[in-house]
Each structure stands twice: as structure tokens, then as C-alpha cells.
Amino acid sequence: MIEKNVIDNFNDIINKANNILVFAHKRPDGDAIGSIIALSLYLELIGKNTTMYIPDEIPAEYDFLVGYNKITDNSDGQYDLFVSLDQSDISRTYGLPRYITKELIINIDHHKSNTYFGSFNIVMPDYSSTCEILTELIGNKGNIDIYNALYTGILTDTGSFKYANTNRTTFKNAIYLIDCGVEPACISQNIFMRMKKRKLKLLALTLNTLEFYNDKAFMYVNQNMLKETGTNMSDTESITGYTLITRGTEMGVFLREESDLRTRVSFRSKNKYDVDIIAKKFGGGGHKNAAGCNIDMNLKDTIKLIKKEVLEYE
């Protein structure tokens, strides 16, 4: 449970603000999107002007959420408060107004690698998701649109309650949202059973690249595959989990060719490995079971580098 004085402090700060920019990271996942939508709708409910800012494309599977269309990639404006959600470091957000200072930032996150870059930080690594933290912060003061967005983040960050970050509190908070009117099957089907056909084709091409080494799996996507299927990088966000679904696989590595000079690496693990440690070695981070880093090298060389490192872990 989040302590009462933390909730009181949070309320004090937002009550004093009028124009609030709520923002999340590039390549947003369901937790980033769910949390910025939920918090913004809540702030509007209590009479604040809010802007939801994500400097990137928003995956289409979340378009059923009320508020989805209000997410913008334009951060222009005069704000007296900034709320960062689901990001360990503010450097992951580009294009914030130049006058932003630490004093103006509330930082709400569940990554243990969080750098406490706000003047008020609610960082809870034991929580499955930022949406779970917000579930306790907002409590019974929300509405169904807010609760649907919160459930979305809990559902996606736990891999539909499959990952090791799923615990008793996660279910307690999920049940709380269901008691508030969320229909779990409706949310799951909206997110997972409305895939664009071209994305399914991309998934097929990507699965073709899977390679297994004992209890580790490697998979990649390159720019040609995106071109061939008419997809873009935001269509690869939910593919990472497929590295882990085979029997006996304990660690999955998914590499994405962003350009000739840059490769994004995502790590996933079940229980045996702490992938946060590996991602940190390359300047990234995350959680024990989900982490990532960027390598300024082409895909082929990055695959070599990462394989060499990862295969040393037993």
C-alpha cells in the first residue's frame, strides 16, 4: 500500500497546479499509455488543464481507450507542473519545454533503476506497473474511463499476469478496478485480439529469426521486414514476449534495427536471470525480468556483441 502521507503530498502538489503536462517515454507500451491517459483524465476530472505528451507513435491496440486521441507529440505551452510516468530517467523523453526544472517535476514510476529526477518521486519497484501505483493514488475518485486505462497498464506490464512481477497486490489492485466496473475480457480482447493483419505478418517474419542456445532465445527485426509488411517500429512493441514462450527458455533477447547506426535491445526473463544487470552493462536498465538498452552499432554487430555477453550467463 502507498502510505497515506505520500498520497496527501501528491494531492497537495496537484491541487496547487493548473496547467499540467503529463508525459511518458518514447516507444510507449500499455503501461505508459494507460498511465498518462488515466492520470490526465483524473486531473481533468478535478478541474485541471492537462496535456498528454508522448514524442512518438502510439500503438493502435490502445485506440479503444477514451483519451487515446488526445495524446499529442507537441509539448508547446506554459505549464506549472510536469508529471513523468513510467520512466526511470527523464532523458528518455525528447522535446520537453526548455524551461522545465527538477522543481516542476513529479516522477511516478516502478523501475528500480529510477534516477529520482523529480522534486517529488513516487518510485515503487515492488509494483507491477505505474498503472498499479496510480490505482492506489486515484482510488475511488476516478471513473470508468480512468479505471479501464489503469487496468490496461497492469495487464500489459504483467504479460496478462504471467510475469514474475505479478503478486498478491497486483491481483488486489486488479480486482479493485474490476469492482469499479472494468470488464477484464473486454480489455484483453481489445488489446490482444484486434491485431492488424500486417502486424501478424511482421510477427511471422520475426519468429522466423528465432535462434535458441540452451535456455536463451534470440530474435530480431530489421528495417526490410518493416518495409515488406508495411509496418513501423511501434508495431514491434508487443512482440518481445514471444522470445520467452518456449519450454525451457529462461531468457529472451529481441533486437530491433532502428538504423544503420543504432540497435535497440530488449531482454526478458522468467525467474532464473536478472536481465537488469545485463542491460545496465550496456548503459540501459529496467527490471529483473524486463530491461533494455540502445547500442550505437548496426544490427549484425550488435547481435554478435550481445550474444557473446549473454551466453556467458549460466
Question: What residue ranges bind Mn ion (CB under 5 A)?
Answer: 31, 86, 129, 157
CB of 110 to Mn ion, least distance (A): 6
Smaller CB distance to Mn ion: residue 86 or 235?
A: 86
By beta-carbon proximity to Mn ion, the closer residue of 136 and 257 is: 136
Cell 472494468 belongs to residue: 182
Name the residue nearer to Mn ion (CB basis): 86 or 276: 86
CB nearer to Mn ion: pick between 134 and 202: 134
In this structure, the dihedral spanned by the alpha carbons of residues 30, 38, 90 and 301, taken in order and rounded to 10 degrees, is 10
Query: In this structure, what are the phi and psi dihedrals at residue 241, rounded to the nearest 5 degrees?
Result: -60, -25
Q: Which residues contact 160 (CB under 8 A, 6 or more apart)?
A: 188, 192
Q: For 109, how many CA atoms within 13 A lie in the half-sphere containing its CB?
A: 27
* Rounded least distance, CB 62 to Mn ion, Å: 14
**Least separation, in Å, of the C-beta of 48 and Mn ion?**
23
Nearer to Mn ion, 31 or 61 (CB): 31
Question: What's the rounded Cα separation, in Å, for the pair 146 and 38?
Answer: 5
Which is nearer to Mn ion, 30 or 252 (by Cβ)?
Answer: 30
Residues near 4 by beta carbon (within 8 Å), at least 6 away in sequence? none
Q: Kindly state the smallest distance separating residue 78's Cβ from Mn ion, in Å.
A: 29
Q: How far is the CB of 82 from Mn ion (least distance, A)?
A: 18
Nearer to Mn ion, 154 or 278 (CB): 154
Give the sheet arrangement for strand 262-269, strand by strand. 211-213, 216-221, 251-259, 262-269, 290-295, 285-286
Inter-residue contact 5 to 13 (CB < 8 Å) = no
Q: Count the neighbouring beta carbons within 10 Å of the beta carbon of residue 197.
A: 9
Shortest distance, position 109 Cβ to Mn ion, whole Å: 8
Residue nearest to Mn ion (CB): 31
What is the smallest separation between the CB atom of 27 and Mn ion, expressed in angstroms?
A: 12
Q: Could you give the angle at the alpha carbon of 196 between the alpha carbons of 192 and 201, nearest 5°?
A: 105
User: Which of residues 123 and 226 has its CB atom nearest to Mn ion in the complex?
Assistant: 123
Tell me the CA distances in angstroms from 85 to 123, 169, 187, one per residue in order. Answer: 10, 20, 21
| Smallest distance, Mn ion to C-beta of residue 31, A | 3
In Å, what is the CA distance from 161 to each residue of 19, 276, 279?
35, 20, 23
66-104 burial, b at 16+ Cβ within 10 Å, e below that, comes to ebeeebeeebeeebebbbbbbbbbbebbeebeeebeeeb
